[in-house]
Structure 1
């Protein structure tokens, strides 16, 4: 059953959306909208417009849009740590950084075993303060989203930065192009997108799910869902463990059992999503040139 902004593929999707709600356009004018993060303390959303080398800001109180940061080192994925500081993946500097409360910037990761990272893409913070991020080559493939360069590491991994020691280590090394990632609400599982189809014929366009041990080691890694419309990019989970994933035709909603429940249609390929608002029930959608939002009858999982 399909109508308007929604496509229902499983009756369980009816509890995830309200037919009376519509996808609202908050802004148009990006070249590639990505990396949304909601900042509760200020009631605003930040998102990246990577090719334009800027971070944008949408104010929840008056719905105004402004340029928050430019140049922005071709920032991509963003999140907040336990102290409310912005943690960003930067294609331009090929690093993961943290903006301190005084405005200064701390580099959290830029090299692995003496070699420069490719171009950190997306990032999450675990409740223990560790930083987990993906490192494909999209920011160094061309000058469109960063600066063209030759990879030094020679592979695309998923990394963790230890909160206490600052050590950067590989936690998953069998990806073609690791992309979006998100923890389950209880942090016992980690979902990671592989969008390797961009570089390998018939390559991966799926989400894998890993078990996270008490000592933060990953195991498993089975395919959770495969994308039938383009490829997956950024993902978020709601408090019931459903996975909301950006794809070519909109946002795909998956039950924790891996069933595709339905889609929110946007008319543009979706790069990333974010739950925000005072009750975490607004889904913000970064879709190519635009920022959209829709209010849902579900709440996003707490990140930390």
Structure 2
């Protein structure tokens, strides 16, 4: 049975007062490292410091080699960028599990899948109570090894981002896959659940609803979600990451916005904006010391050095 909706606190919209990010959060300017995407999404850093991401509409998984800065080979996406898989079945979000394996939210397969050492892909979650998922969009791995993911209908409703088909579930939700493979529905229905990330102590799960433009926060209780509250509204949030101090970094409209999180009785505080020249879709911290931020946009990927690291 679906869980009843948790208690909700609404604190109203946050004014989008655009200003530069505070000193110390950034240590350089964004530099483009990939181009010619049809819709880039889902960056993730691998253990060898290479960067992977999706061209969702192009139906490709791409990888920027760790030595990309020293090579001139270019297959059309930029020096050192190679096609890792084609077709990619319209993969969207990516992350890496506790064993360093790449996980993907696949619009086309309507599943969460894991890449094994031999290059094959293993389905981790394909159905909920007999019905196929809509089109898993983004995902995060908790310290206990469980995988949490969002399941909107973008891959069903946008033929360029999936293989279409009929919805087999009663709505769009957040799900949790336990380490032993049990799939649990953990959220109330949402119009368009998208990016998600845990607070540093994993007591809170932040979830973006891109249809309503709301950044929600949920209490995490015994492997499920409890009371929720609005952190921010109306600022086009999409992918999100949380740094070790708990700040929320989001690809949001024309750049990356950073918030100091609030609570049930107060909204988040917008700390500032890192502007970029096109709509952004997702982001991920990584690189040799974990402080390089990769940002995907519609057609490009940028790297920027920061003064923070992701909470993991």
Contact persistence 1:125–1:131 (CA under 8 A): yes
| Number of equivalenced pairs | 280
TM-score, length basis structure 2: 0.87
State the Cα distance separating 1:34 from its structure 2 match: 0.4
1:261 is aligned to 271
State the Cα distance separating 1:189 from its structure 2 match: 0.9
1:201 is aligned to none
State the Cα distance separating 1:212 from its structure 2 match: 1.1
Residue 234 of structure 1 aligns to a residue in which SS?
Answer: strand
Q: Distance in 1 between matches of 2:150 and 2:190?
A: 10
TM-score, length basis structure 1: 0.89
Residue 144 of structure 1 aligns to a residue in which SS?
Answer: helix
Q: Structure 1 residue 276 and structure 2 residue 286: aligned?
A: yes
Q: List alignment gaps of at least 5 residues for structure 1.
A: 1-6, 197-203
Q: Structure 1 residue 171 and structure 2 residue 174: aligned?
A: no
Contact persistence 1:9–1:260 (CA under 8 A): no
Residue 35 of structure 1 aligns to a residue in which SS?
Answer: strand
Q: Distance in 1 between matches of 2:229 and 2:302?
A: 31
Q: List alignment gaps of at least 5 residues for structure 2.
A: 1-17, 70-79, 263-267
State the Cα distance separating 1:9 from its structure 2 match: 5.9
Contact persistence 1:36–1:286 (CA under 8 A): yes
Q: Structure 1 residue 226 and structure 2 residue 237: aligned?
A: no
Q: Structure 1 residue 133 and structure 2 residue 157: aligned?
A: no
**Which of 274, 289, 292 is equivalent to 2:299?**
289
Residue 279 of structure 2 aligns to a residue in which SS?
Answer: coil
Contact persistence 2:68–2:81 (CA under 8 A): no
1:3 is aligned to none
Q: Structure 1 residue 211 and structure 2 residue 216: aligned?
A: no
Q: Structure 1 residue 8 and structure 2 residue 16: aligned?
A: no
State the Cα distance separating 1:8 from its structure 2 match: 2.8
1:157 is aligned to 173
Q: Distance in 2 between matches of 1:101 and 1:170?
A: 29
Contact persistence 2:173–2:190 (CA under 8 A): yes
State the Cα distance separating 1:99 from its structure 2 match: 1.1
Q: Deviations over 1:127-167 (max 9, x none)?
A: 11111000000001031101122211130010001112x11
Q: Structure 1 residue 24 and structure 2 residue 31: aligned?
A: yes
Residue 293 of structure 1 aligns to a residue in which SS?
Answer: strand
Deviating beyond 3 angstroms after TM superposition, the runs of 4 or more aligned structure 1 residues are none
**Which of 37, 57, 63 is equivalent to 1:57?**
63
Q: Could you say which structure has the greater relative contact order, defined with CA pairs below 8 angstroms and 6 or more residues apart?
A: 2
Q: Structure 1 residue 117 and structure 2 residue 128: aligned?
A: no
Q: CA RMSD in A?
A: 1.3
Contact persistence 2:171–2:189 (CA under 8 A): no
